[in-house]
Structure 1
Protein backbone atom coordinates (compact mmCIF):
# COMPACT_ATOMS: atom_id res chain seq x y z
CA UNK A 1 0.00 0.00 0.00
CA UNK A 2 1.30 3.45 -0.92
CA UNK A 3 -0.14 6.67 0.48
CA UNK A 4 -0.32 9.63 -1.91
CA UNK A 5 -0.69 13.26 -0.87
CA UNK A 6 -1.14 16.52 -2.76
CA UNK A 7 1.28 19.32 -1.97
CA UNK A 8 0.03 22.81 -1.14
CA UNK A 9 -1.79 24.24 -4.18
CA UNK A 10 0.47 27.29 -4.51
CA UNK A 11 3.48 24.96 -4.85
CA UNK A 12 2.11 23.48 -8.08
CA UNK A 13 0.97 20.02 -9.09
CA UNK A 14 3.28 17.78 -7.08
CA UNK A 15 2.67 14.37 -5.61
CA UNK A 16 4.13 13.34 -2.29
CA UNK A 17 4.01 9.66 -1.38
CA UNK A 18 5.18 7.14 1.20
CA UNK A 19 5.02 3.42 1.80
CA UNK A 20 2.85 1.71 4.41
CA UNK A 21 5.80 -0.08 6.02
CA UNK A 22 9.44 -1.06 5.57
CA UNK A 23 8.54 -3.71 2.98
CA UNK A 24 6.70 -1.18 0.86
CA UNK A 25 9.64 1.20 1.34
CA UNK A 26 11.86 -1.50 -0.11
CA UNK A 27 9.76 -1.49 -3.30
CA UNK A 28 9.82 2.31 -3.47
CA UNK A 29 13.61 2.26 -3.14
CA UNK A 30 13.91 -0.37 -5.86
CA UNK A 31 11.53 1.19 -8.42
CA UNK A 32 11.98 4.91 -7.89
CA UNK A 33 12.10 7.49 -10.67
CA UNK A 34 14.96 9.87 -11.45
CA UNK A 35 12.60 12.74 -10.56
CA UNK A 36 12.02 11.41 -7.02
CA UNK A 37 13.45 13.12 -3.96
CA UNK A 38 13.65 10.96 -0.81
CA UNK A 39 13.00 12.37 2.70
CA UNK A 40 13.65 10.78 6.12
CA UNK A 41 14.10 11.91 9.71
CA UNK A 42 17.84 11.92 10.39
CA UNK A 43 19.10 9.27 12.83
CA UNK A 44 15.60 8.11 13.81
CA UNK A 45 13.07 5.68 12.49
CA UNK A 46 10.55 7.33 10.17
CA UNK A 47 8.53 6.91 7.05
CA UNK A 48 10.31 7.18 3.72
CA UNK A 49 8.60 10.11 2.02
CA UNK A 50 9.11 10.89 -1.65
CA UNK A 51 8.44 13.99 -3.71
CA UNK A 52 8.06 13.45 -7.45
CA UNK A 53 9.44 16.46 -9.30
CA UNK A 54 8.49 17.43 -12.85
CA UNK A 55 10.79 16.15 -15.62
CA UNK A 56 13.85 18.36 -15.89
CA UNK A 57 13.60 19.69 -12.34
CA UNK A 58 16.27 19.09 -9.72
CA UNK A 59 16.52 19.21 -5.94
CA UNK A 60 17.39 22.91 -6.30
CA UNK A 61 13.92 23.60 -7.71
CA UNK A 62 12.07 22.59 -4.53
CA UNK A 63 10.32 25.64 -3.07
CA UNK A 64 10.41 26.36 0.66
CA UNK A 65 6.70 25.52 0.99
CA UNK A 66 7.07 22.20 -0.81
CA UNK A 67 10.11 21.35 1.30
CA UNK A 68 8.15 22.16 4.45
CA UNK A 69 5.23 19.92 3.36
CA UNK A 70 7.56 16.95 2.83
CA UNK A 71 9.54 17.52 6.03
CA UNK A 72 6.38 17.93 8.13
CA UNK A 73 4.96 14.69 6.70
CA UNK A 74 8.17 12.82 7.57
CA UNK A 75 8.20 14.26 11.09
CA UNK A 76 4.53 13.38 11.63
CA UNK A 77 5.22 9.81 10.49
CA UNK A 78 8.12 9.19 12.83
CA UNK A 79 7.25 7.77 16.25
CA UNK A 80 10.29 9.39 17.89
CA UNK A 81 10.54 12.44 15.62
CA UNK A 82 6.90 13.37 16.13
CA UNK A 83 7.41 13.65 19.89
CA UNK A 84 10.45 15.94 19.94
CA UNK A 85 11.24 19.39 18.60
CA UNK A 86 14.26 20.48 16.60
CA UNK A 87 14.81 17.40 14.46
CA UNK A 88 16.70 17.21 11.20
CA UNK A 89 15.12 15.83 8.06
CA UNK A 90 17.52 14.62 5.38
CA UNK A 91 16.66 14.55 1.71
CA UNK A 92 18.44 13.51 -1.46
CA UNK A 93 17.65 12.44 -5.03
CA UNK A 94 16.40 8.87 -5.32
CA UNK A 95 19.39 8.07 -7.55
CA UNK A 96 21.68 8.78 -4.58
CA UNK A 97 20.10 6.03 -2.45
CA UNK A 98 22.36 3.03 -1.99
CA UNK A 99 21.08 -0.40 -1.08
CA UNK A 100 23.42 -3.30 -0.32
CA UNK A 101 22.50 -6.93 0.40
CA UNK A 102 23.76 -6.65 3.98
CA UNK A 103 21.26 -3.87 4.85
CA UNK A 104 18.03 -4.54 6.71
CA UNK A 105 14.69 -4.23 4.94
CA UNK A 106 13.91 -0.54 4.38
CA UNK A 107 17.42 0.58 5.29
CA UNK A 108 19.42 2.71 2.85
CA UNK A 109 22.74 4.47 2.55
CA UNK A 110 24.01 7.04 0.09
CA UNK A 111 26.34 6.86 -2.87
CA UNK A 112 27.51 10.42 -2.26
CA UNK A 113 26.98 12.03 1.16
CA UNK A 114 27.63 15.47 -0.37
CA UNK A 115 24.31 15.15 -2.24
CA UNK A 116 22.37 14.78 1.01
CA UNK A 117 20.72 17.94 2.31
CA UNK A 118 19.26 18.68 5.72
CA UNK A 119 16.39 20.86 6.87
CA UNK A 120 15.69 21.57 10.55
CA UNK A 121 12.09 21.10 11.75
CA UNK A 122 11.60 23.03 14.94
CA UNK A 123 8.14 21.64 15.66
CA UNK A 124 5.21 19.83 14.13
CA UNK A 125 2.80 22.19 12.40
CA UNK A 126 -0.62 20.54 12.65
CA UNK A 127 -2.16 22.81 9.98
CA UNK A 128 0.25 21.42 7.38
CA UNK A 129 -0.04 17.78 8.49
CA UNK A 130 -3.86 17.98 8.64
CA UNK A 131 -4.05 19.63 5.18
CA UNK A 132 -1.85 16.89 3.71
CA UNK A 133 -3.82 14.13 5.46
CA UNK A 134 -7.07 15.47 3.94
CA UNK A 135 -5.60 14.77 0.48
CA UNK A 136 -4.36 11.29 1.42
CA UNK A 137 -5.27 8.50 -1.01
CA UNK A 138 -4.31 4.83 -0.55
CA UNK A 139 -3.35 2.80 -3.61
CA UNK A 140 -1.73 -0.54 -4.34
CA UNK A 141 0.35 0.35 -7.42
CA UNK A 142 2.42 -2.07 -9.44
CA UNK A 143 5.65 -0.13 -8.94
CA UNK A 144 7.67 -2.46 -11.15
CA UNK A 145 5.22 -2.11 -14.06
CA UNK A 146 5.14 1.68 -13.66
CA UNK A 147 8.93 1.83 -13.75
CA UNK A 148 9.11 -0.49 -16.78
CA UNK A 149 6.54 1.63 -18.65
CA UNK A 150 8.57 4.79 -18.01
CA UNK A 151 11.76 3.02 -19.12
CA UNK A 152 10.07 1.83 -22.34
CA UNK A 153 8.75 5.33 -23.09
CA UNK A 154 12.22 6.80 -22.51
CA UNK A 155 13.76 4.23 -24.89
CA UNK A 156 11.23 5.13 -27.61
CA UNK A 157 11.98 8.83 -27.09
CA UNK A 158 15.76 8.25 -27.31
CA UNK A 159 15.34 6.19 -30.51
CA UNK A 160 13.22 8.95 -32.03
CA UNK A 161 15.86 11.54 -31.11
CA UNK A 162 18.59 9.38 -32.69
CA UNK A 163 16.51 8.99 -35.88
CA UNK A 164 15.98 12.75 -36.04
CA UNK A 165 19.68 13.37 -35.48
CA UNK A 166 20.59 10.91 -38.27
CA UNK A 167 18.10 12.60 -40.60
CA UNK A 168 19.55 16.00 -39.72
CA UNK A 169 23.06 14.74 -40.54
CA UNK A 170 21.85 13.18 -43.82
CA UNK A 171 20.06 16.39 -44.77
CA UNK A 172 23.13 18.42 -43.90
CA UNK A 173 25.36 16.13 -45.97
CA UNK A 174 22.87 16.34 -48.86
CA UNK A 175 22.98 20.14 -48.72
CA UNK A 176 26.77 20.04 -48.62
CA UNK A 177 26.84 17.86 -51.78
CA UNK A 178 24.48 20.22 -53.57
CA UNK A 179 26.74 23.13 -52.65
CA UNK A 180 29.77 21.29 -54.11
CA UNK A 181 27.87 20.59 -57.33
CA UNK A 182 27.13 24.30 -57.87
Structure 2
Protein backbone atom coordinates (compact mmCIF):
# COMPACT_ATOMS: atom_id res chain seq x y z
CA UNK A 1 0.00 0.00 0.00
CA UNK A 2 1.26 3.46 -0.90
CA UNK A 3 -0.25 6.72 0.33
CA UNK A 4 -0.35 9.64 -2.10
CA UNK A 5 -0.79 13.32 -1.22
CA UNK A 6 -1.06 16.50 -3.26
CA UNK A 7 1.09 19.49 -2.39
CA UNK A 8 -0.52 22.92 -2.01
CA UNK A 9 -1.84 24.08 -5.42
CA UNK A 10 0.24 27.26 -5.53
CA UNK A 11 3.38 25.08 -5.59
CA UNK A 12 2.29 23.40 -8.81
CA UNK A 13 1.17 19.87 -9.61
CA UNK A 14 3.38 17.84 -7.28
CA UNK A 15 2.74 14.43 -5.73
CA UNK A 16 4.10 13.41 -2.33
CA UNK A 17 3.96 9.76 -1.35
CA UNK A 18 5.04 7.30 1.34
CA UNK A 19 4.85 3.61 2.09
CA UNK A 20 2.49 1.91 4.52
CA UNK A 21 5.33 0.42 6.59
CA UNK A 22 9.04 -0.37 6.55
CA UNK A 23 8.52 -3.36 4.28
CA UNK A 24 6.72 -1.20 1.73
CA UNK A 25 9.60 1.24 2.04
CA UNK A 26 11.97 -1.42 0.76
CA UNK A 27 10.14 -1.45 -2.58
CA UNK A 28 10.07 2.36 -2.69
CA UNK A 29 13.82 2.41 -2.15
CA UNK A 30 14.33 -0.23 -4.84
CA UNK A 31 12.00 1.12 -7.51
CA UNK A 32 12.17 4.88 -7.06
CA UNK A 33 12.64 7.25 -9.98
CA UNK A 34 15.51 9.70 -10.62
CA UNK A 35 13.06 12.60 -10.12
CA UNK A 36 12.20 11.46 -6.57
CA UNK A 37 13.46 13.30 -3.48
CA UNK A 38 13.54 11.26 -0.26
CA UNK A 39 12.65 12.79 3.16
CA UNK A 40 13.13 11.40 6.67
CA UNK A 41 13.34 12.73 10.22
CA UNK A 42 17.01 12.89 11.14
CA UNK A 43 18.20 10.33 13.70
CA UNK A 44 14.65 9.22 14.54
CA UNK A 45 12.22 6.67 13.19
CA UNK A 46 9.78 8.09 10.67
CA UNK A 47 7.98 7.37 7.44
CA UNK A 48 9.98 7.50 4.23
CA UNK A 49 8.38 10.35 2.32
CA UNK A 50 9.08 11.02 -1.35
CA UNK A 51 8.47 14.08 -3.47
CA UNK A 52 8.20 13.41 -7.19
CA UNK A 53 9.76 16.33 -9.00
CA UNK A 54 8.99 17.14 -12.61
CA UNK A 55 11.34 15.73 -15.19
CA UNK A 56 14.49 17.79 -15.52
CA UNK A 57 14.08 19.46 -12.12
CA UNK A 58 16.66 19.14 -9.35
CA UNK A 59 16.54 19.18 -5.57
CA UNK A 60 17.67 22.82 -5.57
CA UNK A 61 14.46 23.77 -7.38
CA UNK A 62 12.16 22.79 -4.48
CA UNK A 63 10.32 25.90 -3.34
CA UNK A 64 10.22 26.79 0.39
CA UNK A 65 6.46 26.09 0.46
CA UNK A 66 6.84 22.68 -1.15
CA UNK A 67 9.70 21.86 1.19
CA UNK A 68 7.54 22.79 4.17
CA UNK A 69 4.74 20.47 3.02
CA UNK A 70 7.15 17.53 2.79
CA UNK A 71 8.87 18.28 6.09
CA UNK A 72 5.58 18.65 7.96
CA UNK A 73 4.30 15.36 6.53
CA UNK A 74 7.46 13.55 7.62
CA UNK A 75 7.25 15.00 11.13
CA UNK A 76 3.58 14.09 11.45
CA UNK A 77 4.39 10.50 10.50
CA UNK A 78 7.12 10.01 13.08
CA UNK A 79 5.99 8.63 16.45
CA UNK A 80 8.79 10.39 18.30
CA UNK A 81 9.28 13.31 15.97
CA UNK A 82 5.63 14.31 15.99
CA UNK A 83 5.93 15.16 19.68
CA UNK A 84 9.17 17.13 19.43
CA UNK A 85 9.93 20.69 18.45
CA UNK A 86 12.99 21.97 16.59
CA UNK A 87 13.86 18.71 14.89
CA UNK A 88 15.75 18.20 11.65
CA UNK A 89 14.42 16.58 8.50
CA UNK A 90 16.97 15.34 6.00
CA UNK A 91 16.35 14.98 2.30
CA UNK A 92 18.31 13.80 -0.72
CA UNK A 93 17.73 12.54 -4.27
CA UNK A 94 16.46 8.97 -4.44
CA UNK A 95 19.50 7.87 -6.45
CA UNK A 96 21.73 8.91 -3.54
CA UNK A 97 20.19 6.28 -1.26
CA UNK A 98 22.50 3.37 -0.50
CA UNK A 99 21.18 -0.02 0.55
CA UNK A 100 23.36 -2.96 1.61
CA UNK A 101 22.45 -6.51 2.63
CA UNK A 102 23.64 -5.91 6.18
CA UNK A 103 21.12 -3.10 6.75
CA UNK A 104 17.82 -3.68 8.55
CA UNK A 105 14.52 -3.49 6.69
CA UNK A 106 13.79 0.15 5.85
CA UNK A 107 17.29 1.30 6.76
CA UNK A 108 19.33 3.26 4.21
CA UNK A 109 22.60 5.12 3.91
CA UNK A 110 23.93 7.62 1.38
CA UNK A 111 26.39 7.33 -1.48
CA UNK A 112 27.41 10.98 -1.18
CA UNK A 113 26.85 12.95 2.03
CA UNK A 114 27.31 16.20 0.09
CA UNK A 115 23.97 15.56 -1.60
CA UNK A 116 22.10 15.46 1.71
CA UNK A 117 20.24 18.59 2.83
CA UNK A 118 18.66 19.44 6.19
CA UNK A 119 15.64 21.56 7.01
CA UNK A 120 14.65 22.63 10.53
CA UNK A 121 11.05 22.00 11.58
CA UNK A 122 10.22 24.07 14.63
CA UNK A 123 6.69 22.88 15.37
CA UNK A 124 3.92 20.81 13.84
CA UNK A 125 1.57 22.95 11.74
CA UNK A 126 -1.81 21.27 11.88
CA UNK A 127 -3.25 23.38 9.06
CA UNK A 128 -0.62 21.97 6.68
CA UNK A 129 -0.91 18.37 7.89
CA UNK A 130 -4.72 18.46 7.80
CA UNK A 131 -4.74 19.94 4.30
CA UNK A 132 -2.39 17.22 3.06
CA UNK A 133 -4.42 14.47 4.74
CA UNK A 134 -7.56 15.66 2.93
CA UNK A 135 -5.84 14.85 -0.38
CA UNK A 136 -4.66 11.43 0.78
CA UNK A 137 -5.40 8.43 -1.41
CA UNK A 138 -4.43 4.78 -0.97
CA UNK A 139 -3.19 2.72 -3.91
CA UNK A 140 -1.45 -0.58 -4.49
CA UNK A 141 0.79 0.17 -7.46
CA UNK A 142 3.05 -2.29 -9.23
CA UNK A 143 6.23 -0.34 -8.47
CA UNK A 144 8.43 -2.72 -10.44
CA UNK A 145 6.24 -2.40 -13.54
CA UNK A 146 6.18 1.38 -13.18
CA UNK A 147 9.96 1.47 -13.04
CA UNK A 148 10.28 -0.83 -16.05
CA UNK A 149 7.88 1.37 -18.01
CA UNK A 150 9.91 4.42 -17.03
CA UNK A 151 13.14 2.75 -18.17
CA UNK A 152 11.55 1.75 -21.49
CA UNK A 153 10.37 5.31 -22.10
CA UNK A 154 13.85 6.61 -21.31
CA UNK A 155 15.42 4.17 -23.78
CA UNK A 156 12.96 5.17 -26.49
CA UNK A 157 13.64 8.84 -25.83
CA UNK A 158 17.39 8.30 -26.09
CA UNK A 159 16.95 6.37 -29.35
CA UNK A 160 14.78 9.15 -30.76
CA UNK A 161 17.36 11.73 -29.69
CA UNK A 162 20.20 9.79 -31.34
CA UNK A 163 18.14 9.35 -34.52
CA UNK A 164 17.32 13.05 -34.67
CA UNK A 165 20.98 13.95 -34.04
CA UNK A 166 22.10 11.72 -36.92
CA UNK A 167 19.45 13.24 -39.18
CA UNK A 168 20.63 16.76 -38.42
CA UNK A 169 24.25 15.75 -38.92
CA UNK A 170 23.39 14.25 -42.32
CA UNK A 171 21.54 17.43 -43.35
CA UNK A 172 24.53 19.50 -42.23
CA UNK A 173 26.92 17.25 -44.16
CA UNK A 174 24.87 17.51 -47.35
CA UNK A 175 24.63 21.28 -46.97
CA UNK A 176 28.38 21.56 -46.56
CA UNK A 177 28.91 19.43 -49.69
CA UNK A 178 26.46 21.64 -51.58
CA UNK A 179 28.21 24.82 -50.49
CA UNK A 180 31.62 23.35 -51.38
CA UNK A 181 30.33 22.40 -54.84
CA UNK A 182 28.93 25.90 -55.36
CA UNK A 183 32.23 27.48 -54.36
CA UNK A 184 34.10 25.17 -56.73
CA UNK A 185 31.72 26.00 -59.59
CA UNK A 186 32.04 29.72 -58.88
CA UNK A 187 35.82 29.50 -59.14
CA UNK A 188 35.55 27.75 -62.52
CA UNK A 189 33.26 30.47 -63.79
CA UNK A 190 35.58 33.38 -62.90
CA UNK A 191 35.62 35.86 -65.78
CA UNK A 192 39.41 35.82 -66.03
CA UNK A 193 39.43 32.09 -66.75
CA UNK A 194 36.69 32.19 -69.41
CA UNK A 195 37.21 32.47 -73.19
CA UNK A 196 34.71 34.53 -75.16
CA UNK A 197 34.02 34.58 -78.93
CA UNK A 198 35.75 37.96 -79.02
CA UNK A 199 38.92 36.39 -77.57
CA UNK A 200 38.79 33.66 -80.21
CA UNK A 201 38.47 36.18 -83.03
CA UNK A 202 41.35 38.20 -81.67
CA UNK A 203 43.61 35.17 -81.92
CA UNK A 204 42.82 34.90 -85.62
CA UNK A 205 41.32 31.43 -85.44
CA UNK A 206 37.79 30.44 -86.14
CA UNK A 207 35.77 28.28 -83.80
CA UNK A 208 35.97 25.46 -86.29
CA UNK A 209 39.75 25.75 -86.38
CA UNK A 210 39.96 25.63 -82.61
CA UNK A 211 37.78 22.57 -82.53
CA UNK A 212 40.06 20.95 -85.14
CA UNK A 213 43.10 21.79 -83.05
CA UNK A 214 41.47 20.24 -80.08
CA UNK A 215 40.70 17.05 -81.95
Q: Same fold by TM (over 0.5)?
A: yes
Backbone CA RMSD of aligned residues: 0.7
Residue 206 of structure 2 aligns with which residue?
A: none
> How much does 1:138 deviate?
0.2
Bigger relative contact order, structure 1 or 2 (CA pairs below 8 A, ≥6 apart):
1
Q: Structure 1: how far apart are the matches of 2:36 and 2:45?
A: 20
Larger Rg: 2
Can you give the 5+ residue segments of structure 1 that lack an aligned partner in the other structure? none
Q: Structure 1: how far apart are the matches of 2:57 and 2:172?
A: 33
Written as runs of structure 1 = structure 2, the 5 A alignment for 1:126-145 is 126-145=126-145
> How much does 1:180 deviate?
2.1
User: How many pairs are equivalent?
Assistant: 182
Runs of 4+ in 1 over 6 A off after TM superposition: none
Q: Structure 2: how far apart are the matches of 1:181 and 1:91?
A: 59
> How much does 1:181 deviate?
1.9
Normalising by structure 1, report the TM-score: 0.98
Normalising by structure 2, report the TM-score: 0.83
Q: Structure 2: how far apart are the matches of 1:178 and 1:9?
A: 54
> How much does 1:175 deviate?
1.2
Residue 113 of structure 1 aligns with which residue?
A: 113
Q: Structure 2: how far apart are the matches of 1:10 and 1:177?
A: 53
Residue 53 of structure 1 aligns with which residue?
A: 53
Residue 21 of structure 2 aligns with which residue?
A: 21
SS of match in other structure, 2:69: helix
- Greater helix content: 2
Can you give the 5+ residue segments of structure 2 that lack an aligned partner in the other structure? 183-215
